[in-house]
Amino acid sequence: MNFEFDLWGWYIGQAEEPGLRTTPLAPANTSLTEVEGEPRANWTGVEWVELPYVAPPAPVEPEADPRLWWVDVGPFKDRLGMDIGAIASSQHSACLGVKEFLNGRKYVNLRDPKVSLLLGVMIANNQPAADPVWPGSGPITMAKKAVILDTPTTEEERHIKGLEG
């Protein structure tokens, strides 16, 4: 049996066949509650964790060109705010994974499920730890994840300039 999760990592049921958003690992909590704050299983990309449910933001109207969500790496780091400094200076495996994920990339596709899962790993591991050298840093949260992934890109952030959107 395969256990399915949505784009935000929330458990959504069982699937007969394996897919892009399934895992053979069973969550302890199989609740499908959509009540904000109620415990629900969330897939981090490595394991199921139980988190208070937060409803995903309303779907964004589809654009004519998906490249509108391709952000240069520098502006993606800017979206992380002071957390990027804490990530850069951390030796925690979740932070090291983020650094390696960004290493050598020209852009980050904010609609790529791997990016959502990457931030989910940070949430599940309560990373990055707050670092006084980087005031305001602290763990990535579901709210931060939503802002990072769902804020429409600006012309200055985009990997490809001049797109109609």
For residue 81, CA distances in Å to 41, 49, 76, 140 come to 27, 25, 9, 10
Q: How far apart are CA 53 and CA 36, in angstroms?
A: 5
- Does residue 156 form part of some domain? no
- Does residue 124 form part of some domain? yes
- Residues 8 and 48 grouped into a single domain: yes
Q: Measuring CA to CA, which residue among 6, 4, 2, 28 is closest to residue 117? A: 6
Token readout for 74 is 């520098």
- Residues 133 and 77 grouped into a single domain: yes
Burial of residue 92 (number of CB atoms within 10 Å: 0-12, 13-18, 19+): middle
- Does residue 114 form part of some domain? yes
- Does residue 163 form part of some domain? no
Query: pTM higher than 0.85 for the full model?
Result: no
- Residues 131 and 84 grouped into a single domain: yes
Which residues of the chain have a pLDDT value below 70?
A: 62-64, 165
Domain that holds residue 19: 2-52
- Does residue 14 form part of some domain? yes
| pLDDT for res 129 | 96
